Amino acid sequence: MGHPQISDFWNDATRPIHNGHLPDANGLSGSDLDEGRPSEGLVMIVDKRALERECLARGLIEHNPTWRVSAVGSLDEIQHIAGEAQPSAILVILGARKVTDQSVRAELSHFISEFGTVPVIVVVDSDEPGEVLAALECGARGYIPTSVKVKVAAEAIGLARAGGIFVPASCVLALREIIHSTTNGARPLTGMFTTREAAVVEALRTGKANKIIAYELNLCESTVKVHIRNIMKKLKATNRTEVAYKLRQMLL
């Protein structure tokens, strides 16, 4: 199976960690954390930062000594480390990079497609709902923010290996608030404004000029001004800024 060469993600080659072996300063292996214990499959960590990936590998092994964990610095090392063994999960460490960035999104999608059924989990600094949704759209089987503890990360890996998908609770709560605000906000706007006024209101909320509103709604600019005056009367506002403020308060 060929694997993508994506230098923009990780481009340095460093010594990997095998089965709980952490290389010391002399290049010798430390104690074997899983010696004599059954293995639950290989978990791969891909991160160009040696200290971060070794710390995460150590933490996962200490949490569950039956895991085999290999940490590498670049994507092209995975095939060399895994050999003929198929990884049971792959952690892609993005750090501060944004999944919503077009280049990152394209690279992540290509990488996930190359590994087929192997669950790929991203580890990212941000827990913004938009970033989480972008990762899931790429095919990621989990989204772990770096703010969580190792125990949560391990459980997320286990869930992905079992066929589930992990997303942070903070993201779920944020999405619930967005849905709640949208649902509650639709009622007063629908009852207060006509259909055409509601369209103008939406344009005002985004700060569009009268000429743009007229063009997008196929209206005369004078007609747009009439709608705006009616909207201002209904909201008891004296200018566009006050209209935008009151609309925002209504949708909270």
41: which strand partners? none
Q: What is the predicted pLDDT for the residue at 58?
A: 92
Three-class secondary structure of residue 199 per DSSP: helix
Under the banding of pLDDT at 50, 70 and 90, the label for residue 29 is very low
**Average of per-residue pLDDT across 210-237:** 89
pLDDT value of residue 115 = 82
Stretch (H or E) spanning 216: helix 210-217
Q: Where does 20-153 show beta strands of DSSP type E?
A: 42-46, 68-72, 89-95, 120-124, 142-145
Please give the backbone phi and psi of residue 230, each rounded to the nearest 5 degrees, phi first: -65, -40
Query: What backbone torsions phi and psi does residue 29 show, to the nearest 5 degrees?
Result: -80, 150
- 203-212: average pLDDT: 85
Instruction: Give the number of other CB atoms < 10 A from CB of residue 233.
Output: 9
Q: Which two tokens stand for residue 141?
A: 């089987």
Which range is least confidently modeled, 17-26, 163-172, 219-228? 17-26
Full DSSP string of 84-108: TSPPSEEEEEEET--TTSHHHHHHH
Q: What is the pLDDT of residues 81-93, one digit of tens each?
A: 655 567 889 999 9
pTM over 0.75: no
Neighbours of 240 (CB within 10 A): 15
**What pLDDT does residue 171 have?**
74
Nearest residue to 166 via CA among 109, 131, 122, 114: 122
Lowest mean pLDDT among 20-29, 102-111, 167-176, 216-225: 20-29
Phi and psi at 158, nearest 5°, equal -60, -40
What is the set of domains in the chain, with CATH numbers?
A: 42-171 (3.40.50.2300), 193-250 (1.10.10.10)
